[in-house]
Structure 1
Amino acid sequence: MSVIVIGAGPAGLAATYELRKKGVDVLCLEERDVAGGRARGYNKEGYQFDLGAQFSANLCTTTFRLCRELGMEDAIQDFDFMGAMWRNGKLYPIPATINPLEAAKHWREILRFRGLPWKGYPQMARVAFHMLRRRRDFDFVTMDPEAVLDLSDISIEEYALRYGGRVALDYVFQPLTASLTLGEPDQVGAAHVLALLMGLMPGLKFLKRGIGSLPAALYEECRDSIRLSTPVNRVVIDNGKVKGVETPDGFMDADAVICTTTATTAMRLIPDLPDTLRKPLETVTYSSCIHFIFALKERLLPEGWYAVTFSRNEGSIQPGFADAGGKSPYFAPPGAGLVHSLTWGRRARELNELPLEELKRMMIKDLQMIVPTMPDEPYMTVAVRWDEAICLDPPGQARAIHYMRKNNYRDVEGLYLAGEYMYLISCVEGALRSGIEAATEATR
């Protein structure tokens, strides 16, 4: 059996790795000259530049299983940090954990927290009560969304207004949604955001050499089966069956094709998709951003602090920012800072078209409004454009994808779709899991 995997991001690398374990003849084709996709990263002068994803959660069982299999078990680190909310020109610190047991250790800081307008506290109490009632409906083992499809059909904006109120939306759910997805609250399904929050409750984790170290390890393990700088022009389907792929160098035949690109790219590469597959993919949307990483000689935030978030009402052009300098000794030299700053939401489409140097100055000025010690010129700056940054999982997507996977996944013989959009928690964990499941389906 021969299998072609399209894309060497987390899903494609995981699929290739799983197929090699099964002894399958597999070739992974990646159009870029580097593997890793939206989870890639690299280290320069002691600074770890993770260009996409930043952390994981305890529920990321596939991520951590792969780490163990690749000899990276010691790379998994707990991530306990202080966050802050910026409101009315002031920073209000609060422990970032939402695990009730861990939060109890920080009761003094929680009681002193004044980051919300007073109306927000009773509103969030009502939301918390509803979340607790629905928590068991979220299945983090099989990732089956059936029990929460009603929540996936409404936006997180509608959810916050229905169960909390305007302040809960503007000062909690909007900043959280923007920070987690780079999207607006009316663009993102409620079940997606709630799944992320509930999934984070058991605790956060990160890889001590950056999330990009896992794709890098998968690439090294599978590099003989990966061909970089090799774009695919088209997946060839004949009479409802995959025949292979067309590349600039010609046709390559295969018994099966696993497409691990974004949903929009998959539709472009597979023009002969039946409606039973195409229509669900059409529901998938993505945020876009330019991701700036500023390497600094000194930390921007106090020791133990990691992230600052704020409401769109505060007038910032970013959803918040993080200083990863203190995450581990591998992220930055001692005492140094590593600030992640991103455009977000609908305005990102406008901002992303600005000259990069102009946008950089705007982002730095924006940071200086919050933390005046931000230097005018960072030690190093890295900027990466993501036209499709994070899957937004808009209202209706989870239902459409779920029933496509349940009823129509094999409608084209030999074709298997994979990517983070396949799961309610559309992140690196979802991408890895979907790649492995696609590989399993292909060899069944």
Structure 2
Amino acid sequence: MLDIKAVRKDPEATARALAKRGFEFDIAGFQALDARRKQADVDSQALLAERKSASKKIGQLVGQGMSVDDAKAQVNETLEKIAAQIDDLTEQARVVQGELDELLLGVPNIPAGDVPEGASEDDNVEVARWGEPPALAFTPRDHVEIGEGLGGLDAETAGKITGSRFTVMYGPLARLHRALTQFMLNLHTGEHGYREIYVPYLVNRDSLRGTGQLPKFEEDLFKLAGDHEYYLIPTAEVPVTNVGRDRIFEADELGERGLRFTCHSPCFRSEAGSYGRDTRGMIRQHQFEKVELVQLVRPADSDAALEALTGHAEAVLRALELPYRKVVLCGGDIGFSARKTYDLEVWLPAQDTFREISSCSSFGDFQARRMQARWRNPDTGKPELLHTLNGSGLAVGRTLVAVLENYQREDGSVAVPAALQPYMGGITELVPGA
């Protein structure tokens, strides 16, 4: 959520900044609600002053010849009327504040100054490229054909068990999927300084509101039926970031680099806005797994933290020797809560193009304000909002897709990347029928 004080001070500047992402901020609507809230406060203060004054009138009325009982009765009648008016104004202020909060909850984050202009993904800017696409001497198969040829990928059974956009994996292919998860977790905890964390896969509305999925993106979520209003997590970002909700961290708890968490979890998404896109295979599924990176840092460290976190995701691709490119998202393609985002796109030979495998984002204090995630600044002794960041390190299913396609051989076998072989129990290649 944006800082209401900043919006109130210069709504036109807020509107100009949001226009970069193609969002039209309703200045008139905001100001009308804010004026109503302010007027309710002014009227309440006037009534409180009137109540204080009325309480002193008993002596004056008695001095004017009225009996004590009559004076008390008259003053009490006045006080009851004032109390009723104050209650009415309090309710009005509560309703208006709720409308104001609802308006601001629907307003996205303001992009960083160096986010490029643009309306869609076509305007994203490539900032780096690593590795060379493999020079295959045959027509590359896609991951579905490769996986089915290995006897390890079974969409038909998944469709029978559940429905479309789900997958069953068997044998060495399932093990390779598990190996990727273990490799990523070990890399991030061992070399990048993240603390592994295990979290619930069900969250409440407050958690989703805190990270920005609610109220705007409810249709993208799977909501459970029952007595509790729980949702399946769309990403581990939600429960992990909410570890900081309604907390004040002392400076020594943050250490020099802030809090770093890595988490392996399933992710569940309805893919409401992707009808007809990537329906084949594992690129876009309702259930997939991801190793998430989350950081909670001091505001002064936010920009450097985004570069570091993105580098940690890149390290996975480099260790697996998968060609990729790094792009910075333009204003029109950046996510709702994000201030700045880098996408990492891995090369897929069968598609002859790069496809997203990780998004690494800085949110500034946007999520922290919703969650009231704070730290105590030792220089002032006062609580201040943290900055939050997260990124995929990496999406496991898409990484498996990239490994299958980039390490495929003409005979249908797939070489196991050297970095994953220690996790494969001596298996160095996947072969049909194994």
- TM normalised by structure 2 equals 0.22
- TM normalised by structure 1 equals 0.22
